[in-house]
Amino acid sequence: MKRSKAEITREYGPFPGTDGVAGVSFDGARIWVATGNKLNAVDPESGETLRSIEVAAHAGTAFDGKHLFQIAEAVIHKIDPETGAILATIPAPAKGGDSGMAWAEGSLWVGEHRGAKIHQIDPETGAILRTIASDRFVTGVTWVEGELWHGTWQEDKSDLRRIDPSTGEVLECLEMPDGKGVSGLESDGGERFFCGGGTSQTVRAIRRPRDSG
Amino acid sequence: MDSLITAASQALTAGDPLGALKRVALREDAPALALRGIAMAQLEDFPRARDLLRRAAKAFGTGEPVARARCAVAEAEIALVSRDLVRTSGALETARLTLASLGDEMNAAHAGYLLARWHLLTGKLDDAAALVAETDRTALPPASRVGLALVAAGIAMRRVRAADVRDALGQARRTANSAGIPALLAEVGHAEQAFAAPAARIITGGTNRLAGLEEVEALIASDMLLVDTCRDAIRSGRHKVRLAGRPVLFALARALAEAWPDEVTREQLLACAFGAKHADESHRARLRVEIGRLRRKLSAMANLKATKAGFVLETHTHSGVAVLAPPAEERHGTLLALLADGEAWSSSALALALGVSARTTQRALEELSSEGKVESFGRGRACRWVARTIPGFPTCLLLPALSPRG
């Protein structure tokens, strides 16, 4: 396993009036930030909040190219990002113990926080297709260029780790500085990860090491 | 945090403990137990809250020491608000040190504030003052910063330092105003009233009047021979004699000080010190012994001169004599003073705070209860006492932040 320090390249927020950042996604142009009772669309260049959708947003957020998926209490809502309308609802795999979420290859990948697992589920029914085990609390999940990354945050220590999707083996680990946790993770498809910063109410951009793989 | 924990903590922050419970009521994992405990505390079901927090701490275990310590701090705060001071404060001190060493400065400071309050309530002023000095105010959220300032004010009141009280109350008032939490504003208001109320009665040269803390402080600082019945001590300038546990000597000193510059007859002294109605020879012999003891105790400050009919106090300086007494002298005045804070106390916590036995406290409480001055609720170990004049039992739970910061 390769181990290195996470390099924070930018900090967005703090987004005031919230308890913290619960989930992060990226739709190709905007960062979507789940802050408990709202989804905020943030411009990655200016850092401005462009608009907000009033919707329960308690954990992970994902984007399938057209719709947003958002964990709220013990379910996952499929949301139209333009109107904010909830189009469909499926059960969340950990029944409310869910944390991060990503979309890839026609499936949703949902982190189970204290269960330290990642579930691959059918986005239409919520049925669990398979489960990958980790050894740390999962706080965010993302796929980028065939790599599965997840965030961990346990006992005030936090890191980003790339794991083998078939075995769960940790291949690479980026350690967050002390006191900076990851609550939600999304890649921009290129060099950047966006990480939710928990109760600091921020989103941090982390450089993705390009020589990995 | 996971989805339901986030939703539940959001409900708690919004002041909706029932909404929080609804979301995690059936969960038995550590963060859910902790949240259920905090929600129960907000609903003032303290025994269940403490049980849940204890289970949460156990479930977090040694693998999550920070989360476990936060639960211990919350449990201690509930014990403090419900005036259950019987257990030692050791667990709180351990949690404080754990949080400080693992970098949770905010909750470490909150634990420091709670521990200072604990010591203040149980009369350990030096320990309380050391913790106030040591606790990092800037790391505290505004609510517990108000609490810490009130502890500082309480210490200064007990130590009779009016300027320090004024400083601490000013700080508490400013912080409470900007935090705008009604329960805290009320608590600051109570402290301000307590400071404005008379701190003692001064009996001197045949007069008897109420005095504020400032005047009491000036009196203590003067060269006057002062019989201080609030602190069981006699002092004059830099000289001080403690007579705690010597009630006869103290009663004699007080009688002589109240009469000064006149004499007190032997009959009067016998009556006030031994409750003797008819003085026989054995009483007179005993009075001679006790006067001899008191004379030795006071030798640096005053002389006890025998007169034809009795004794008279003669000071070495010419600055006069006064008696300092509680504002209202009734039976069990100190016990009532403790209950006057409006909180519900267990009899064992009162005994601890008063430094007397549980039986003595129980007898006093039953006496006051039959006079309608106090009342109790709960049974057995859960029995609590309150002053009758106080409506309800105000609580001001601030509770540590349980979620990780970052």
Residue A19 is nearest to which of B2, B9, B27, comparing CB atoms?
B9
Each residue's pLDDT tens digit, A127-157: 999 999 998 999 999 999 999 999 999 877 8
Higher pLDDT, B118 or B4: B4
pLDDT of residue B336: 81
Q: Which of B192-196, B233-237, B279-283 has the lowest mean pLDDT?
A: B279-283
Spatial CB neighbours of A181, under 8 Å, sequence gap ≥ 6: A139, A153, A156, A158, A197, A198, A200, B404, B405, B406
Contacts of A58 in chain B (CB under 8 A): 3-4, 6-7, 10
pLDDT of residue B393: 30
The predicted model gives B55-67 an average pLDDT of 93
A183 to chain B, closest Cα gap in Å: 8
Is the separation of the CB atoms in B35 and B402 below 8 Å? yes
pLDDT of residue B388: 62
Give the pairing type, strands A107-112 and A117-121.
antiparallel
What is the average pLDDT score of chain A? 94
The predicted model gives A6-30 an average pLDDT of 92
Q: Which of A119-123, A164-168, B290-294, B344-348 has the lowest mean pLDDT?
A: B344-348
The ipTM assigned to this model is 0.92
A208 to chain B, closest Cα gap in Å: 20
Query: Could you tell me the two tokens for B32?
Result: 């859910």
B14 to chain A, closest Cα gap in Å: 10
Q: Identify whether A14 is preceded by a cis peptide bond (ω within 30 of 0).
A: yes
* Percent of chain B residues topping a pLDDT of 90: 45
For the entire predicted model, the pTM comes to 0.81
pLDDT of residue A178: 87
Contacts of B34 in chain A (CB under 8 A): none
pLDDT above 50 (res A213): no
The predicted model gives B295-309 an average pLDDT of 91
pLDDT above 80 (res B7): yes
Is the separation of the CB atoms in B215 and B322 below 8 Å? no
What is the average pLDDT score of chain B? 86
pLDDT band at B391 (very low <50, low <70, confident <90, very high): very low
Cα–Cα distances in Å, from B97 out to B69, B86, B92, B148, B273?
9, 21, 9, 18, 50
Give CA–CA dist A191/B97, Å, rounded. Answer: 41
With an 8 Å Cβ cutoff, are B406 and A200 in contact? yes
Each residue's pLDDT tens digit, B97-142: 999 999 889 999 999 999 998 888 777 889 999 999 999 999 998 8
Is the separation of the CB atoms in B311 and B305 below 8 Å? yes
pLDDT above 70 (res A103): yes
Give CA–CA dist B397/B390, Å, rounded. Answer: 19
pLDDT above 80 (res B400): no
The predicted model gives A186-198 an average pLDDT of 94
Give CA–CA dist B358/B374, Å, rounded. Answer: 17
Residue with tokens 């390249």: A9
pLDDT above 80 (res B382): no
Q: Is A183 on the interface with B (CB under 8 A)?
A: yes
Dihedral through CA B353, CA B357, CA B360, CA B361, nearest 10?
Answer: 30
The predicted model gives A89-117 an average pLDDT of 96
Each residue's pLDDT tens digit, B201-243: 899 988 889 999 999 999 988 889 999 887 778 998 888 888 8
Q: Is A152 on the interface with B (CB under 8 A)?
A: no
The predicted model gives B185-201 an average pLDDT of 85
Q: Is B25 on the interface with A (CB under 8 A)?
A: no
SS3 B374: strand
pLDDT of residue B232: 76
Beta-carbon neighbour count of residue B288 at 10 Å? 12
Residue B2 is nearest to which of A99, A178, A199, comparing CB atoms?
A99
The predicted model gives A40-57 an average pLDDT of 95
pLDDT of residue A6: 96
pLDDT of residue B342: 59
Give CA–CA dist A151/A156, Å, rounded. Answer: 13
pLDDT above 70 (res B397): no
pLDDT of residue B136: 92
Q: Which of A110-119, A148-157, B30-39 has the lowest mean pLDDT?
A: A148-157
pLDDT above 80 (res B394): no
pLDDT of residue B395: 39
The predicted model gives A85-90 an average pLDDT of 97
With an 8 Å Cβ cutoff, are A94 and B2 in contact? yes
pLDDT band at A19 (very low <50, low <70, confident <90, very high): confident
Q: Is B403 on the interface with A (CB under 8 A)?
A: yes
Among A90, A146, A150, CA closest to A117? A150
Each residue's pLDDT tens digit, B344-375: 788 888 888 888 899 999 999 999 888 877 87
Give me the DSSP letters along A42-92: E-TTT--EEEEEEEEE-S-EEE-SS-EEEEETTEEEEE-TTT--EEEEEE-
pLDDT above 90 (res B5): yes
Q: Is A8 on the interface with B (CB under 8 A)?
A: no
Among B76, B40, B81, CA closest to B396? B81
* Residues B135, B138, B144, B146, CA torsion sign: positive
Q: Is A114 on the interface with B (CB under 8 A)?
A: yes
SS3 B392: coil
The residue of chain A nearest to residue B402, with distances taken between CA atoms, is A199
Q: Is A24 on the interface with B (CB under 8 A)?
A: no
Contacts of A90 in chain B (CB under 8 A): none
Higher pLDDT, B340 or A137: A137
B80 to chain A, closest Cα gap in Å: 27
Q: Is A58 on the interface with B (CB under 8 A)?
A: yes
pLDDT of residue B15: 85
Give CA–CA dist A78/A64, Å, rounded. Answer: 10
Is the separation of the CB atoms in A22 and A38 below 8 Å? no
Vertex B253 angle, CA B307 and B229, to 5°: 160
pLDDT band at B404 (very low <50, low <70, confident <90, very high): low
pLDDT above 50 (res B329): yes
pLDDT above 50 (res B390): no
Give CA–CA dist B141/B135, Å, rounded. Answer: 13
A209 to chain B, closest Cα gap in Å: 23
Give CA–CA dist B200/B207, Å, rounded. Answer: 14
Q: Is A178 on the interface with B (CB under 8 A)?
A: yes
Higher pLDDT, B27 or A155: B27
Q: Is A198 on the interface with B (CB under 8 A)?
A: yes
What helix, strand, coil percent values describe chain A, rounded to 5?
A: 0, 55, 45
